[in-house]
Each structure stands twice: as C-alpha cells, then as structure tokens.
Structure 1
C-alpha cells in the first residue's frame, strides 16, 4: 500500500490516482487536503506521517516545517515553477521532486499573443491618429519583441513571433551558457541576444523562474536600472512570477515616460496585491495566464506519468510486494489522440482544438486526452494576423464560436461567495472554467463583478474588440 497526500483542487487528480492504481495494479491510499491561496494553509501532520507521495500546487509551501518527521519520498508539484519548494531541504533528505513544466506553455503563449494583438491594435491606431497609414504586415516588420527566458514558453513564443515576421530578441544567459558548453551544431545560438538589444525592444515579455540568489538571479530583474536603459517606451508583460518585475519601479518608469504600458498576470505579495499598481496597468489578470482546459489536461497527464513511475520504483515498494502484469499496455498512450492529417482551418470553429471534445476525450480514462493539434491554432492566428483586418477578423470568429458553442461549467467544491479576497475569488472562478484555450477564456470572462481587478481583466477583451 502506497499512501498519497494530494491537493484536491488539482483538476482531475482523483481520476489520475484511480487510473494509476488500475494501471499499476497496486493499491493506493489517497488522502485529500484543501490547498488554499493563503499562507495559513496547513496539511495535517497525520497525513504526512505515512504519505510517501505529496502532490501540491504553488499555494502549498513545501519546506522543513511541513516535511519534518514525514514519510514523504517524492513531491510532485502541479506547476512549472518551484519557488514554493525548499529544494535544498529535499536534496539533503533524498526526497525526489517532479514538476509539470511545459504543461501550460500553450496557454501562456496564447495569453501573450492576445496581449500582443492588443498592442498591434493600439500601435496601428496611434499611427492613424498621426495620419500615417500602415498595414499590420508593415507594422509587424517594424516591431521588435524581446523574450526574456527561452524555455518551454519562451521558445514557443519565439517561433510564433518569427512566423509573424517580427524581429525577435531572445535573452537567456543560462541557456546560452549551456548551449555554448555543449558546442552542438543543433543549438540555436542565433536565438540569444544581448541585454543591450533587449533594451531596444518595443514589446518585452518575461518567462523566467523566480530566483533570489546566483549570478542570474531573477528577483526584480526588471528594476529601475533595467527600465532606465529602455529606449523605445515598450510594453512590459509579466506572466512569470510576481517579483520578477519590480512593480513600484515600473510605475515610476511609467510616470517618467520610460515605458508605454504594463501588463501583469502575476503579482508581488499575491493574493494581497497593490491596488495602486493595479490601477496603472493596461491589462491585469489574477495569475490565470496558464489556466485553460488544455493546460489542466497536460498537467494531469504529467502527474500521472510521475505517479506511475513512482509506484513502480523500488524505493517506494519492495519488489516482493509488487503484483500484476508489469508489461500491460501503458495508460500514457491513451492520453494521446490518434495522429490526424495536418489541419488547414478556414474558420475557427473548424479547428479540432475548438470543437466540443469533452465527451469524446473524457471517455475511458475520466481524465481527457491530450491534444497534439495545438499548433494549428497558433498557425491559424499567425496567418490571420498577416491580414490588415487581423484583430477585427479574430474578434468576429471568436464571437461566432462562443455564440454557437456555449461552454458549461462543471460543479465545483468551492463556493466562490465564501472567498473573501477578490484576487482569490476571481482566480478560483477562472480555475472552474473549462474553456480549452486561454484565448477562449479571455473572450468569455464574467463581467458581473465591479471589482477593479475584474474591470482590468476585461480590458484585454475590450482591446480585442469584445463588448
């Protein structure tokens, strides 16, 4: 028997554990705890006294106080970032750490792309106000985008912006050092630029982990010194971690005219955010850039893979206690749909990614299958952007999609009215939605709340033409 303690707010986690037990033919004893978005969240020590596996979200701080005298041998986090985990403690006590990095890469990329479309719209309008008339294609050629952090998300964005014909500037000293060390001809060394080139970009987006120490520490890397060196009044976008961008310094830079705007999805001190900072942003969202159904499914699949490997590991159960046919077909294959022909969509509703797929994908496993056709959406958007009417056309198609394919929300254990903090309440509302894409999610936000955070969230929709 392997005991598991898990955060019940992780989407599909019960199904993942049940299917893992079925696949491995080993009994798993799972005990849920309710992770909250407040530091006061505590997991009962009794749960960890026997739990070999701990599955958490970013709201659970995994450190010595939590793990002392526990039986935990592996920590699985449903996140890419690990700033909520004391990695040194885990290493010292021989506790394995597994992440779900890359699971929300599509969702975050789509979020940044949506913001960039809004930037293009604003820039085109500004040129028209100055009696200058340029097509979107021309503006794209004259626009430079700096991507700070070229990992799972940054590399996707790099490829997308390249397809758009934008001048892309990649900045990632650790990855550049690794590429140079391997001396591989496959390493795309031309992707990496200098900080001086970043300072000359029109649009700067951050995709780095939050680190406080080391040569390439990222805490407040966008600080007063960084902002003062900027040359083109760029938009600053942070979907990485609160603390990467110095919010106070950014507001000061905005007042001085050093930057053209700030877009924040992550915040210093969240969920208690600085309303003075909020009121100065162009767009603001409650840490939901990575929230989409697709991202949830990818996360579930990665947790399943980690958990299945864990229960077959000698460190968790002696070989003499293992049972069942170890050569049975892996459930992992069932998380992938059959290979299909390359999609050449004419309308948004024709994309397999956007069609109603819940029943088809949730059959069998209870945890919907992963989708390998995500890039077709991005490619379609890229092609749309090359038209002069890119933003209105995109808006029109999104509205048509939502008119013909209304989304239904599954019931949730969380009563939103019980959540006092507005940041937490809005974030939880986003977590309960089941749109497949982040673009879809942004297009269908609830507009009933008058809280400034909700108002700012709606700005993205309005910038893209939604009413």
Structure 2
C-alpha cells in the first residue's frame, strides 16, 4: 500500500521554528528561509503549483492573483486573524476555501493596546529618549519635569467591542477608567454589567465625551477612515487616540494635521495606512513627543505565533482529510 502523498504547501514568510518543523513533518512544505516578502511573480508561481497557500498580512492575495491559481490549489490557509488582504469572494468563485487563525491574539493585542494607553499620556517614549539619546544630560528629578496626564478616573471610548475591544475594556477598568463603547450591536448585558460599560449608538456622541479613544474594529469597506477628519474634530483637545487595529480605519493625514495643530493631545499607533512605510510627519511628531509609534507588533509574542501556526496546521490537515476546516472564512464576513 502506497503512502498518501503529502500536500504541497507554500508558506510566504518565515514562521517560528517549532511551526516550520511540524509543517515539514506533515507536508511537502516550501518555506521562506530569508523571510523576504514574496514578489507577485513568486506568488503567481506558487498558486500555479501548490495545493495550499499560507500567506500573511503582508501578502496581497487579490482577485488577479487568485485567477492565476491552478486547479490543484484548493486552500488559502492564512497565518492571520484578519483576512482583509485576501479577496475571499474571488477565492470562493474559484472554488478555493479560505481559513484564518482567529481568537489567538486577543490577549496579546489587548496588552499592547493598554501599554499604548499608558505610554502616550504618561510620556514614556519621551522619558526613555532622555536617557538614551542624550546620556549624561539628565539633571535629576524635578517636581514640574516631564509631567504627563493621569489615566485613573478618565473615560475610554472603545471603537469596536469584539473580543479584543472587550479585553481592552477589562484592562482599562482595572486601571480605573470608565468604559464607553461603540459597536455595530450592543454587547451582552452581562458583559456590560461586568464592565459597567456605557453603550453609545452614535460614534460621534461618544467621541465628543471621552478622554481616550481605542480603535479595535476590523478593516472593512465600512470602516475605511471611520475615524475621519470630521470625527477627529469632535475630540477634546486633551484627548488621546490609540490604534492597534488597522491603519486605514483612521484617516492618517487628518490625524497628523490634528496633532500638529494641537487639536488633540497625542496618539499611540501600532498600525499605519501605508505599511511598512511610515509617514515622515508621524516620525517628526514622535520626536516631538506627540505620538508613540510601534512597528505593528501588538500581536508579536512567541506564544501567539506558535498558536497561530498550530491553527494553520489544523486547518490544513482538516481540509486535506476531506472535512470542513474549523476556521473557514465565508464570503461577506
């Protein structure tokens, strides 16, 4: 009896060693040793020959690419929570199943969101640079030096009360913030009671009343520039904005203008509208202490990446065995 042929799996980026080792054991895996993002011609060649494509958020898996897929390509098992980098509808038309790795990065992303909520008002980036950029020039403690803003007792407005937004709310409540949120639909009353949260059907009304805005909604056509110039103008001049969701949810040019003109107090960003490019004006604002910038690392933990890899493997094995994978992404979701 001949052994079952291993499926050919093309992985677009370097993954944790433990994940790659397991993939080599189970599949005919083509790995990305140097971790350089794959070019469009390389991706086209992959979908023409592989049975399974494992992309990440840095890959654009659009309709034009999917149309090039060979008849053997039946699964796109994305190493990601979101799938805005994949044209799921085009994949469905081609008969290709799409999966993701949900519910893995909730706590990690919420931790980093809370870190930025602390870092921006308390001027952590500025304080660190005092010691690292000009060593020896710190004159010592002073009662009026490097004063930030207290967050205890402030109001946080969470835009998107899904798993991550709810996890952020739990952390924020522990720090003594009052919880306000806007979501497509109201959360379970038990969750509202636990968090003592106030629901705002109107995003505009919430933005005008909170001290800190945390953006935690997915990137969809409906949320593109959800935090627009008009909505940024609703914020109080003492308000802060934190975005660990997706860069295009916030109108970056409008945010820069608000920060430069002092119409909001500051911002903390882990995502950008044109990643990996970062607007030089944002870097200048960071050097001036008006914004804290991170390189899309809110989900970057060893445990989280291994958990994601495990989910990718489960999705592939389940699909190859002829069953519906547990994390299938349906068109229109």
Whether the TM-score (by the shorter chain) exceeds 0.5 is yes
Give how far 1:8 is off: 4.1
Secondary structure, counterpart of 1:121 in structure 2:
coil
1:266 match: 271
Residue by residue, what CA displacement relative to the aligned partner does 1:52-72 show, whole Å, maximum 9, x if unpaired?
211111111112332224222
Give how far 1:311 is off: 2.3
Distance 1:226 1:76, change over 3 A: same
Residue by residue, what CA displacement relative to the aligned partner does 1:248-306 show, whole Å, maximum 9, x if unpaired?
11122123332101222111212222111221132111212211212212212221221
1:277 match: 282
Distance 1:42 1:290, change over 3 A: farther
The answer (yes or no) to whether the contact 2:272–2:278 under 8 Å persists in 1 is yes
Q: Take 2:324 and 2:168, find their aligned partners in 1: how far apart are those partners?
A: 39
Flag the structure with higher helix content. Answer: 1
Secondary structure, counterpart of 1:286 in structure 2:
coil
2:235 match: 230
Residue by residue, what CA displacement relative to the aligned partner does 1:72-103 show, whole Å, maximum 9, x if unpaired?
21111111121211111012223211111232
Give how far 1:225 is off: 0.4
Secondary structure, counterpart of 1:43 in structure 2:
helix
Give how far 1:198 is off: 3.0
1:95 match: 96
2:300 match: 291
Give how far 1:232 is off: 4.9
1:75 match: 76
Residue of 209, 220, 224 corresponding to 1:211: 220
Residue by residue, what CA displacement relative to the aligned partner does 1:122-141 show, whole Å, maximum 9, x if unpaired?
59x9xx759x9x9x6xx512
2:157 match: 146
1:325 match: none
2:199 match: 192
1:305 match: 314
1:16 match: 22
Question: 5+ residue gaps in structure 2?
Answer: 128-142, 326-333
2:110 match: 109
TM-score, structure 1 as length reference: 0.56
2:167 match: 156
1:32-43 correspondence runs (5 A): 32-33=31-32, 36-37=36-37, 40-43=39-42
List, as ranges, runs of 4+ consecutive aligned residues in structure 1 with deviation greater than 4 Å: 184-191
The answer (yes or no) to whether the contact 2:13–2:37 under 8 Å persists in 1 is no
Q: Take 2:225 and 2:247, find their aligned partners in 1: how far apart are those partners?
A: 9
Distance 1:36 1:42, change over 3 A: farther
1:252 match: 257
1:319 match: none
Distance 1:121 1:45, change over 3 A: closer
Q: Take 2:170 and 2:324, find their aligned partners in 1: how far apart are those partners?
A: 41
Secondary structure, counterpart of 2:31 in structure 1:
strand
Matched residue count: 288
Give how far 1:167 is off: 0.4
Secondary structure, counterpart of 1:225 in structure 2:
helix
Residue by residue, what CA displacement relative to the aligned partner does 1:201-248 show, whole Å, maximum 9, x if unpaired?
111111122222xxxx11111111001111353111111112111121
- RMSD in angstroms over aligned alpha carbons? 3.0
Distance 1:106 1:45, change over 3 A: same
The answer (yes or no) to whether the contact 2:10–2:29 under 8 Å persists in 1 is yes
1:416 match: none
